[in-house]
């Protein structure tokens, strides 16, 4: 189940840097999107807690999920990028994690590990000075 939070996002604009030449200094193309998580009617309380846990470093102290975009040259493109990124983050945060199934190492991997340890041990034994003088 995908959630689309587009209708609850609060947008603001500002002048941005980057491509556009002198036009950039006149037009507000940077878009900032804020989504009030706790006031949202789209998700349950449990889902809100899950979003807070997963996106805690992207949420402001006021409880807003904050995303900015100033990549594109137009305000509409940047707005679309903000919406897409927010929806992607929220849906990723709500996706249930797969439980890891613990497995045992195979007999072949155990044997390979043992052979590698023996080879390393032999190499290090050959480096030993006492070994060299004893065998000479």
pLDDT in tens, 54-75: 999 999 999 999 999 988 888 8
- Of the chain, the percentage scoring pLDDT greater than 70 comes to 92
Give bridge partners of residue 31 from the DSSP assignment.
13, 69
Give bridge partners of residue 64 from the DSSP assignment.
36
Give bridge partners of residue 36 from the DSSP assignment.
64
- Taking the CA atoms of 47, 93, 37 and 42 in sequence, report the sign of the dihedral they define: negative
Q: Token pair of 13, please?
A: 């604009």
- pLDDT tens-place string over residues 92-107: 999 988 899 999 999 9
pLDDT at 109: 96
Residue 6's closest CA among 95, 92, 80? 80
Q: How confident is the model at residue 18 (pLDDT cuts 50, 70, 90)?
A: low
Q: What is the DSSP string of 38-103?
A: TT-SSS-HHHHHHHHHHTGGGB-TTSEEEEEE--SSSHHHHHHHHHHHHHHHHHHHHSPPPPPPP-
Mean pLDDT along residues 3-25: 81
Q: How confident is the model at residue 120 (pLDDT cuts 50, 70, 90)?
A: very high
């Amino acid at each position: 189940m995908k959630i689309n939070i587009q209708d609850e996002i609060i947008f603001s604009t500002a002048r941005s840097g980057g491509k556009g030449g002198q036009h950039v200094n006149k037009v507000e193309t940077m878009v900032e999107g804020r989504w009030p998580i706790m006031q949202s009617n789209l998700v349950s309380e449990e889902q809100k807690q899950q979003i807070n846990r997963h996106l805690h470093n992207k949420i402001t102290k006021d409880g807003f999920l904050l995303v900015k975009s100033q990549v594109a040259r137009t305000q509409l493109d940047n707005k679309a990028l903000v919406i897409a990124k927010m929806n992607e983050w929220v849906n990723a945060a709500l996706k249930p994690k797969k439980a890891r199934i613990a497995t045992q190492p195979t007999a072949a991997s155990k044997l390979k590990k043992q052979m590698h340890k023996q080879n390393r041990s032999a190499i290090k034994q050959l480096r030993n000075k006492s070994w060299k003088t004893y065998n000479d």
